[in-house]
Amino acid sequence: MAKKVTKAVIAAAGLGTRFLPMTKAMPKEMLPIIDKPIIQYVVEEAVAAGITDIIIVGSANKRTIEDHFDHQYELEQKLRKDGKVELAERMEQVADLGNFIYLRQKGLYGNATPVLNAAHLLEDEPFLVLFADDFFNSQVPRAVQLMETYQKHQQPVIAVVPVEQSRAKNYGVADIKRVIDDKSLELSGLIEKPDPADAPQHEGKVFASTAGYIFTPEMMKYVNELEPDKSGELVLANAINRFAKDHDGQVFARVIDGRWHDAGNKQKYLEAIVDVALDDPAIAPGFEHYLKEKLAQKASIS
């Protein structure tokens, strides 16, 4: 029987330059989506998938992330004293989501570096990899969907979503070896930012990798052996491709059901806020009315 996945590595070392000056003193991962920071959505999906140990790989000025996932006993007690019991319980639940471990990122740039930094904590176990500014708004959390595919195949699993062919040049694209069903694919690897005309397709769809992975212990050999790419970065896709080549495939992709929010740029961040707000029954009616009113006003002016 394969080992249960209980550990997650969450990459949170980005500088957030696209949100300056806001991110000069506050990590971009702590930007709010309504009343929760982006990274909390990511942690919650990991916990929903059975993760108990959450390894957050950050950098300088990320102390507020640690503070957010810690207890603030004085505040919690005051909330209870003021009769705000439900709010106090929500605060406590955030701190009790899991066992948090914080590391400072060291080494070359690239999305493989957080995994290398956390390697000594993974103890020859399968593990989940997520990024702290990237989440899905979905009925079934992305990490839960990834876990379903992992439990079936017991091999590395990558999150993918269909994208327009013209956008293939922006992503790592799934090189499909075979289609298992409408949710799962077996891959020959990932093709990094291909020309749209050359991007692999299935039934007219191009599948882009969306920064969510479950890796088996065997993948660490390939991560450890990574050499910097032409930009000087250590890239997980290169490890995945070498693994797939040596194992005649055996890398699987889960087509994630939900709306993907890469909140690392301003437009996508605003889209994430609107999407979450419109799914909140307490906010949606008034907010939807406001949006329609503003759009009508803009249309009348133009």
Summarised one tens digit per residue, pLDDT across range 114-161 is 999 999 999 889 999 999 988 898 999 999 999 999 999 999 999 999
User: For 7-264, CATH number?
Assistant: 3.90.550.10
Please tell me whether the overall predicted TM-score, pTM, comes out greater than 0.75 for this model: yes
Q: Write down the domain spans for the chain.
A: 7-264
Q: What confidence tens digit (pLDDT) does each residue in 224-253 have? A: 999 998 888 999 999 999 999 999 879 999
Regions in the chain scoring below 50 on pLDDT: none
E-only strand ranges, 251-296: 251-255, 259-262
Q: How many CB atoms are located within 10 Å of the residue 229 CB?
A: 14
Question: Given this model, what pLDDT does residue 204 score?
Answer: 79
Rounded (10°) CA dihedral 268, 269, 273, 278 = 0
Reduced to 3 states (helix: H, G, I; strand: E, B; else coil), residue 256 is coil
What whole-number distance in Å separates Cα of residue 113 and Cα of residue 168?
A: 25
CA distances from 181 to 240, 254, 280 (A): 22, 10, 32
Contact 264, 28 (CB under 8 A): yes
Q: Rounded to the nearest 5 degrees, what angle is found at the Cα of 187, between the Cα atoms of 250 and 170?
A: 140
**Rounded to whole angstroms, how far apart are CA atoms 209 and 78?**
45
Q: How many helices (H) and strands (E) does the chain have?
A: 10, 13
